[in-house]
Structure formats: structure tokens, C-alpha cells
């Protein structure tokens, strides 16, 4: 395949901006992770391990992005063609991004299962599609590494990249819509104060799914309509940060849903302190339904 004439602004410029935004969002994710560990010390270990795992993957992803940018701007300064044959760190970043996104999506799918009262059909579909996306991301990273240039990859494996991004967007939309549907059912059975809290959760679910799905669709559009520049890759650098920040923000937002309780006694994930309080006061049915994630990752005494 003939190598197209490179536009520095659409290639190196776009990648630089993408790397800067990615590093900034990693800082935001780090702050959110710190807040989570200080506020919710009584959450189950599996949830704490999930947060640590996602953050470590983000750290590795950020290091790969920074190495890729250093490779282009310092190690091969003035060599525009260097970006045609990027280092292995870029392909590792692709695989890490393909790992972070499905993990977060599977977390939200589990949340959907809890909210729906144990219905597993839609969560099972989301889990399956998330695993398929991870497998396709792994194949994408390996195939891109084996090819000579980025342009060869975009020409030969365009369908693979497009499919995995569309699958990701579909999962995000499906989870957001399903969460809103089941939460609306609970809202209709609740009191005024509880309805307001559930309304907040619904808005956050829509915003979370909208941001990640729009980002995925934007990458697909740039990938298909602007094949001679790397704007799609710049947005792809930021994609993993959107997922991790949505996860951390969702966990930290519990304090705003139930501000009358301190974080350590939060009821949404059923911490130890909250269960001790429940022995003293049994919530009414509407109040219980206001905490649809109460049994999720429930801490053991």
C-alpha cells in the first residue's frame, strides 16, 4: 500500500494533544481512586481490588502513551515517517485499553443484574460482548504489531477496529438504557425523596454511557472518514481514561446519593457499618428500593 502524504497537524499534532489529555485524565482518575480508598474503607475487598487493578492498568497505559510520544518527538525528532512504524508500547497500550473498557463494562453489567432483581439475560449479553471486545482488542494489538506500518493495518484490518468499537458503544448504550428502565420501575414505587435519589442515578447512568459510546462512535467516524491522519488514534488514547473515570466517579458518587450517612456507613454497597444500622432500623420497602446496589459486593463481618 502506498504511504499517504503526512499532515503533521493531523498526525503528530493530534497524537500530542491526545497524549496530554490522556495524562490529565489519568491524574483525575488517580485523585478519584485516592478519594475512594479514603471514603469507602469498608467496601468488600473484591471491589477494592477492582479499583486497584483498573488504576494499575491505567498507569501502565499512561506509561506506554508517554513512551510513544517520546519516541516520536525526542528519539526520532524531525523524522515524520517514524510515526508510521510506532514502537511496541503503542500496541501494548491498545491491548491495555481493550482490557480496561471490558472490565468496567462488566462491572456496570453486574450492577444492572443487581438493579434488575437478578435478571441475567441482558447482563449476560453485555458480559459476552465485553469479552468479545477484549478478544478483538488483543487480536488488534497483535496484528498491528506484525504489520509494517499503521497504514497497512488500517487498510487490512479496518473491519476489526470498526467492529470492536461498535460493540463497545452498543454495550454502553444497552447498559445505560437498561439501568434507566429498571430504575424507573423502582422510582415509580418510591416516595418523593427516594425518587429524587433514583433520578440522580438515572442521570449518571445516561451520562456515563453517553460519554463512552459517543467517544467510540467518534473514533469510528474519524477512522473511516479521515484515513490519512491519526485523529482517531488520538481519541483512542483517551478512551480508556473515560471508562476508568466513569467507574471511579460512580463509586464515589454514593456519598451524594445518601448524604445523611457517612461514607463508611454507605448502604448502596452494603458495608459492614450499614448492616449494623439495619439491625436497629428496618427500612420500608420503598426505602430499601432506593438502594438498588445494596447487596452488590457486600462486606462480610
- What is the pLDDT of the chain when averaged over all its residues? 80
The reported pLDDT for the residue numbered 267 is 36
Instruction: State how far the Cα of 270 lies from the Cα of 267, in Å rounded to an integer.
Output: 5
Residue 292 has which C-alpha cell? 438498588
- 108-149 pLDDT, tens digit per residue, is 999 889 888 888 999 999 999 999 999 999 998 888 888 767
The reported pLDDT for the residue numbered 262 is 46
Instruction: State how far the Cα of 120 lies from the Cα of 138, in Å rounded to an integer.
Output: 27
Instruction: State how far the Cα of 290 lies from the Cα of 284, in Å rounded to an integer.
Output: 10
Kind plus residue range of the DSSP H or E element containing 60: helix 45-70
**Residue 219 CA: distances (Å) to CA of 16, 116, 166, 214:** 16, 32, 10, 9
∠ CA 231-155-129 to the nearest 5 degrees? 75
**Residue 156 CA: distances (Å) to CA of 6, 19, 98, 144, 161:** 19, 26, 20, 10, 10
The reported pLDDT for the residue numbered 297 is 45
Closest to 54 (Cα-Cα) out of 101, 17, 22:
101
Tell me the pLDDT of the chain (301 aa) as tens digits: 455 556 677 778 888 999 999 999 999 999 999 999 999 988 999 999 999 999 999 999 999 999 999 998 888 887 767 777 788 898 899 999 999 999 999 999 998 898 888 889 999 999 999 999 999 999 988 888 887 677 777 778 888 889 999 999 999 999 988 888 888 777 766 666 666 777 777 777 777 778 888 999 999 998 888 877 888 889 999 999 999 999 999 899 887 765 544 444 343 344 444 444 444 433 333 333 444 445 554 444 4
∠ CA 59-60-61 to the nearest 5 degrees? 90
Instruction: State how far the Cα of 198 lies from the Cα of 292, in Å rounded to an integer.
Output: 9
Instruction: State how far the Cα of 22 lies from the Cα of 39, in Å rounded to an integer.
Output: 25
The reported pLDDT for the residue numbered 189 is 66
Kind plus residue range of the DSSP H or E element containing 247: helix 231-252
The single-letter DSSP state of residue 157 is S
The reported pLDDT for the residue numbered 194 is 66
The reported pLDDT for the residue numbered 209 is 78
Instruction: List, in order of start, the domains of the chain with CATH numbers.
Output: 9-289 (1.20.1070)
- 188-227 pLDDT, tens digit per residue, is 666 666 667 777 777 777 777 788 889 999 999 988 888 7
Instruction: State how far the Cα of 197 lies from the Cα of 106, in Å rounded to an integer.
Output: 24
∠ CA 246-251-253 to the nearest 5 degrees? 90
Closest to 290 (Cα-Cα) out of 260, 262, 264:
260
**Residue 28 CA: distances (Å) to CA of 32, 34, 55, 58, 229:** 6, 10, 11, 11, 28
Dihedral angle computed from the Cα positions of residues 237, 175, 220 and 161, in that order, rounded to the nearest 10 degrees: 80
Amino acid at each position: 500500500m502506498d504511504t499517504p502524504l503526512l499532515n503533521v497537524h493531523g498526525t503528530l499534532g493530534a497524537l500530542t494533544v491526545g497524549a496530554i489529555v490522556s495524562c490529565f485524565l489519568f491524574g483525575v482518575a488517580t485523585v478519584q481512586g485516592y478519594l475512594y480508598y479514603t471514603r469507602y474503607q469498608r467496601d468488600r475487598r473484591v471491589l477494592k481490588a477492582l479499583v486497584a487493578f483498573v488504576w494499575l492498568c491505567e498507569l501502565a497505559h499512561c506509561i506506554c502513551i508517554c513512551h510513544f510520544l517520546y519516541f516520536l518527538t525526542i528519539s526520532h525528532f524531525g523524522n515524520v515517517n517514524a510515526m508510521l512504524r510506532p514502537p511496541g508500547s503503542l500496541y501494548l497500550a491498545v491491548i491495555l485499553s481493550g482490557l480496561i473498557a471490558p472490565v468496567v463494562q462488566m462491572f456496570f453489567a453486574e450492577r444492572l443484574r443487581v438493579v434488575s432483581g437478578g435478571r441475567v439475560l441482558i447482563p449476560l449479553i453485555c458480559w459476552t460482548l465485553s469479552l468479545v471486545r477484549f478478544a478483538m482488542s488483543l487480536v488488534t494489538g497483535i496484528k498491528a504489531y506484525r504489520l509494517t506500518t499503521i497504514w497497512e493495518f488500517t487498510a487490512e484490518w479496518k473491519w476489526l477496529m470498526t467492529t470492536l468499537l461498535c460493540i463497545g458503544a452498543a454495550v454502553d448504550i444497552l447498559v445505560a438504557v437498561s439501568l434507566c428502565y429498571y430504575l424507573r420501575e423502582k422510582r415509580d414505587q418510591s416516595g418523593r425523596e427516594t425518587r429524587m435519589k433514583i433520578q440522580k442515578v438515572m442521570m449518571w447512568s445516561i451520562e456515563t454511557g453517553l460519554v463512552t459510546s459517543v467517544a467510540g462512535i467518534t473514533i469510528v467516524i474519524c477512522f473511516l472518514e479521515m484515513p490519512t491522519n491519526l485523529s482517531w488514534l488520538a481519541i483512542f488514547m483517551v478512551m480508556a481514561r473515560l471508562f476508568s473515570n466513569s467507574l471511579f466517579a460512580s463509586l464515589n458518587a454514593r456519598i451524594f446519593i445518601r448524604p445523611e450517612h457517612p461514607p463508611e456507613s454507605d448502604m448502596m454497597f452494603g458495608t459492614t457499618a450499614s448492616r449494623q444500622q439495619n439491625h436497629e432500623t428496618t427500612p420500608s420497602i420503598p426505602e430499601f428500593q432506593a438502594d438498588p446496589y445494596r447487596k452488590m459486593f457486600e462486606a462480610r463481618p
